[in-house]
């Protein structure tokens, strides 16, 4: 019996599995597909996800595989300069296809001993007080102490659990594909620039080696969204908008996606949890889906590992839902707003014009952008200074950078007082005496980089160490 079975070997599932394995958990990942997908559903990493990769030592692998772009223009495609003073060491977007991110994570997972079994389609799930039973289409039966559904927007885990998935169905659909084009690039750029004056869901992105990502609004909503469009269907929609199909041919893959917006009612049912698209789906505006899932996994991993180890304090695993559900709700709201702002309706265009004018104010531009890149998140950890519940930005200390110090997946106490101690929690929390100026005499940082406590009183510190890391 495994400690944890993760259903779904996409970026969220593999990220979660590596977080668990980093802490010694016996984790198995099961996946329906026999090979990693080639479909590119995400095209980049935002600042907080880049920070997460740095905190696990993966940024050095991923950064050379992508292209950095300025931050401006990511809210509803409203073109504005990158704002000043964004609270991150990485004030850019890393353009990188989702399958490349997935490949890096899979390589890392293999290095640290994560087992992944493919070709297993989940058909049944039940649980008792000691574990979870999973059944698969080929007759395979597996049991684990916990299970996590990371199996996408049509999650079988979520459906078997009976978790409600309220929200709005798809109203508009977009066709997408990776194809070769015969038209020359300057002509393509000129045509796309003209079409996007009125159709922001139309676009062509060069991927190298003569391959392009081509997207256009669909003519209605498909009865079965799992059936990909044909090349002729995509070419027809492109021609209607652009007057040419750019000579599209030789598709690598074709897909369709809608603007359905839904949020799971709860992220945990006893020993089974949900993460990534299994817990929330939303339109692609702002490019937040891949990032939201990775950050779910980063929040859940250390908490579930502590539960498996038997050292989790009461309520720690439930804090996953308490912290991440509001974050997803906020993402759903900002994507809803962006969808409205991309509508061709006269009223929506009037609002878009007004928002564009407001974004000329630096504070507004930065505020909206930080929603997209997820550096504005503050978990509700109770009353306290503004930094409480926020992730601590990377800082350079004489012992090294903070993000490097977090790579072991442990908590960190940054202590300027020289009088504090982590005592019986030293097997879970590193105590680092520093001389550098911070926003408090001492800061307790959780394994996910968020601030759990600030102060200088040992008794108060002990209370918070017990709250987040269990008994001594």
pLDDT tens digits, one per residue of 224-243: 888 899 999 999 999 999 99
Q: Provide the pLDDT for residue 345.
A: 87
Q: For residue 142, what are its two tokens? A: 């597996």
| CA nearest neighbour of 228 among 177, 171, 290 | 177
Helix (H, G, I), strand (E, B) or coil at 11: helix
Positive or negative CA dihedral for 400, 404, 410, 414? Answer: positive
Q: Are 241 and 216 in contact (CB under 8 A)?
A: yes
Q: Is the pLDDT of residue 331 over 90?
A: yes
Residues 17-45, mean pLDDT to the nearest whole number = 93
pLDDT at 319: 98
CA atoms of 141 and 447, how far apart (whole Å): 34
Express each pLDDT in 244-254 by its tens digit. Answer: 999 999 999 99
Q: 416: helix, coil or strand?
A: coil
> Is residue 334 a contact partner of residue 78, using CB atoms and an 8 Å limit?
no
Mean pLDDT, the chain, integer = 95
Domains of the chain, each with CATH number or no CATH:
2-167+262-373 (3.50.50.60), 173-258 (3.30.70.2450), 396-469 (3.40.30.120)
Is residue 74 predicted with pLDDT exceeding 90? no
Q: Is the pLDDT of residue 89 over 90?
A: yes
Residue 388's φ and ψ, nearest 5 degrees, are -60, 125
pLDDT at 118: 98
Q: What is the predicted pLDDT for the residue at 428?
A: 96
pTM to 2 decimals?
0.94
- CA 4 to centroid of chain Cα atoms: 21
Banded model confidence at residue 259, pLDDT cuts 50, 70, 90: confident
Q: What is the C-alpha to C-alpha distance for residues 253 and 276, in angstroms, rounded to an integer?
A: 23
How crowded is the C-beta side of 203, counted as CA atoms within 13 Å?
9
Q: How far apart are CA 91 and CA 48, in angstroms?
A: 10
pLDDT per residue as tens digits for the range 43-73? 899 999 999 999 999 999 999 999 999 988 8
pLDDT digits over 312-326, tens only?
Answer: 999 999 999 999 999
Q: Regarding beta strands 411-415 and 400-401, do their DSSP bridges make them parallel or antiparallel, or are they unpaired? A: unpaired
- pLDDT score recorded for residue 209: 84
């Amino acid at each position: 019996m495994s400690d944890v079975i993760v259903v779904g070997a996409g970026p969220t599932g593999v990220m979660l599995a590596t977080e668990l394995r980093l802490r010694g958990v016996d984790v198995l990942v099961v996946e329906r597909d026999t090979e990693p997908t080639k479909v590119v559903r995400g095209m980049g990493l935002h600042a907080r996800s880049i920070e997460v990769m740095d905190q696990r030592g993966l940024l050095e692998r991923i950064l050379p595989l992508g292209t950095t772009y300025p931050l401006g223009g990511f809210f509803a495609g409203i073109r504005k300069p990158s704002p000043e003073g964004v609270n991150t060491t990485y004030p850019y977007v890393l353009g990188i296809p989702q399958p490349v991110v997935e490949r890096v994570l899979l390589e890392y997972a293999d290095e640290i001993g994560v087992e992944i079994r493919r070709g297993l389609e989940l058909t049944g799930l039940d649980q008792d007080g000691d574990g979870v039973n999973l059944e698969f289409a080929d007759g395979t039966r597996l049991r684990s102490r916990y299970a996590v559904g990371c199996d996408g927007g049509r999650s079988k885990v979520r459906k078997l659990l009976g978790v409600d998935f309220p929200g709005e169905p798809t109203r508009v659909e977009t066709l997408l594909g990776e194809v070769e084009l015969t038209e020359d690039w300057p002509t393509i750029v000129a045509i796309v620039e003209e079409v996007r004056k009125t159709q922001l869901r139309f676009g062509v992105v060069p991927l190298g080696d003569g391959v392009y990502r081509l997207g256009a609004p669909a003519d209605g909503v498909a009865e079965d969204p799992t059936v990909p469009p044909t090349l002729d269907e995509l070419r027809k929609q492109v021609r209607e908008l652009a007057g040419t199909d750019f000579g599209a041919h030789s598709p690598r893959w074709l897909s369709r996606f809608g603007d359905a917006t839904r949020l799971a009612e709860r992220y945990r049912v006893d020993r089974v949890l949900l993460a990534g698209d299994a817990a929330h789906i939303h339109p692609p505006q702002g490019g937040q889906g891949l990032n939201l899932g990775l950050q779910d996994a980063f929040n859940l991993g250390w908490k579930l590992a502590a539960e498996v180890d038997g050292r989790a304090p009461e309520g720690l695993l439930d804090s996953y839902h308490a912290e991440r559900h509001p974050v997803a709700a906020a993402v759903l709201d900002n994507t809803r707003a962006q969808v409205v702002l991309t509508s061709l309706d006269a009223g929506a265009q009037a609002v878009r014009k007004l928002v564009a004018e407001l974004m000329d104010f630096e504070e507004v531009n930065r505020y909206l952008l930080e929603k997209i890149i997820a550096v504005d998140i503050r978990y509700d950890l109770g009353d306290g200074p503004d930094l409480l519940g926020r992730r601590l930005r990377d800082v350079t200390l004489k012992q090294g950078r903070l993000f490097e110090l977090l790579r072991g997946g442990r908590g960190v106490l940054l202590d300027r007082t020289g009088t504090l101690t982590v005592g019986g929690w030293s097997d879970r929390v590193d105590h680092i005496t520093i001389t550098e100026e911070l926003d408090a005499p001492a800061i307790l940082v959780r394994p996910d980089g968020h601030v759990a406590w600030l102060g200088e009183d040992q008794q108060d510190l002990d209370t918070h160490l017990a709250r987040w890391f269990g008994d001594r």
